[in-house]
Structure 1
């Protein structure tokens, strides 16, 4: 087993939970958490899409707001499911946020039919559901638009209006910061072959093993094997870690109960797709660092976006992020950004 590398980039991921009766407060809480992340020296803050749920459904809008309240921390989506999006329109939104943030956006995307497709297709695509393409070609359409390739055959003046044949605004460099969220050997290989960055999370497809860490390691090595940059290709890992260094006794009990309630699903692959979940890691920063330093997947990377638990209170996230930045990060060899 290789020796652990010093952690180069430290990020965090949240779904931006909110109360249905007071959604504005939940969104404000997320913005405050992102501001705190910058103050603590985190390298990145990532938002996860939650459609028809009580989590952020429009990360681009929230990140546009965050871009005006921060100056350094990078932003990401982990991930934007393209089945819910028009690739050309999404390219416009991402380019706009990237320019507003002075080049700090890392779009993370995935492909496939939307979750609960049979229930939502009538609302999403009432006239075209049968014709929608949820293959990798949908990703390619998005990438072509982000890269500035033509999306129609006309540019020039029409009356008093000027038209472009490519997505506007165009943000140079954004295409190099696109990440693909993959959970299988096939998606890892495809992301590598297409020169994308790779996001691997706390869920993988158990194809060749029932050992989560070994599966994740195999995805990372398969991705890099097919990427033009080889071992230098960027990979970010996103496990759920909950440090308790400064937590109260009540918080520690709540955190452990949360992890225990989710432990059963990590025992074996779930469903026909054989999806395997990683256990949440709860403990002191020293204990978490020790576990990560023996984790086969973690040993392959030097970037993380640790996932915050879904259902905690604002003050819990403040404590967790503070402990990650001041205790766990340094234990993993990370230095805060300034």
Structure 2
């Protein structure tokens, strides 16, 4: 059984054809879509996080609201850019959201991707330490976040507090037991996949990867998964590793589908430059009639290897249409590929 979910980029724009014209639209529709997705059998709902853009940027209020409105779906991010975060404050926010959802948070973090502004994390008050790169800073803050999630005391108590303290060093509250084991790392290279495994994080793969072999995206990502699982086993973690992959997949079942996504029927992987002058491979979109789509997806070895598939959705087209997009995959595609 493969878990199937969605990944929303959380866009909004005052465009005549958009259902999500404002930030309020996007936030409220994200909650409604999560509720509806749970009802049709979707396993996990996930949201991108971008700053300085007309997209979702503050995940925890949204995650908490969804947790309060749903009962069973996993709730996550793909991904939170740790360069922008205060790890201790994030522990408190994540703990609260996880408790509200009764332990359903599956939090995706990473060092981040190219953003809307130059070094946007500087505006949030963060600077790399001497000798650090911004990548180092993101990883350092991620490790501090993981450490504090363990719930061990580290702060010296005030001898004259406003309220009585328990004995010993104090931890951050609210503490949510088990959340440390439900953190995912968004990786774009083989080395970062191995690093995630070594630190006991699950692996998130997206529709792009730094090009390390010149091979198609799914071939390179399958190798990432192999190296990740090998590193996980070597690290001696007692849990089973998990891997998610996001893909743009649309079953063309009606005229609206063909109008919106028919042009992607001949999509192929693309090569481009992504930050710091590095070459990256950008994954194709899948858009076809269900029978043809099944054949195409059966050749994507990364999807076959991953335990969780996140379908990127066009959130600006509204809740009703996105329920249709998700339902089409669940009804016409998933059973034939053994996902259901």
TM-score band, normalised by shorter chain: 0.7 to 0.9
Match of 2:17 in 1: none
Cα distance in 2 for partners of 1:11, 1:112 equals: 22
Give runs of aligned pairs for residues 1-338 of structure 1, distance below 5 A: 7-19=1-13, 22-111=22-111, 115=115, 118=118, 120-125=120-125, 128-131=126-129, 134-154=137-157, 158-160=161-163, 162=165, 165-228=170-233, 232-245=240-253, 247=254, 249-257=255-263, 259=264, 263=267, 266-271=269-274, 272-309=277-314, 311-335=316-340
Q: CA offset at residue 63 of structure 1?
A: 1.3
Give the 3 Å change call, closer, same or farther, for CA 231–174 of structure 1 in structure 2.
closer
Q: CA offset at residue 221 of structure 1?
A: 0.5
Give the 3 Å change call, closer, same or farther, for CA 307–167 of structure 1 in structure 2.
same
**Where do 5+ consecutive residues of structure 1 fail to align?**
1-6
Tell me how many residue pairs correspond in the alignment. Answer: 322
Deviation sequence 1:145-202 (CA, Å, 0-9, x none) = 1111334233776143547621111111111111111010111010111121101111
- Range with bigger deviation, 311-320 or 228-237: 228-237
- State the 4+ residue runs in structure 1 displaced beyond 6 angstroms: none
- Range with bigger deviation, 134-143 or 19-28: 19-28
Give the 3 Å change call, closer, same or farther, for CA 119–103 of structure 1 in structure 2.
closer
Secondary structure at the counterpart of residue 338 of structure 2: coil
- Range with bigger deviation, 69-78 or 318-327: 318-327
Secondary structure at the counterpart of residue 317 of structure 2: coil
The normalised TM-score by structure 2 is 0.86
Q: CA offset at residue 78 of structure 1?
A: 0.8
Q: CA offset at residue 334 of structure 1?
A: 3.0
Is the 1:210–1:269 contact (alpha carbons within 8 Å) kept by the matching residues of 2?
no
Give the 3 Å change call, closer, same or farther, for CA 284–116 of structure 1 in structure 2.
same
Give the 3 Å change call, closer, same or farther, for CA 69–116 of structure 1 in structure 2.
closer
**Where do 5+ consecutive residues of structure 2 fail to align?**
15-20
Q: CA offset at residue 119 of structure 1?
A: 5.1
Cα distance in 2 for partners of 1:231, 1:143 equals: 16
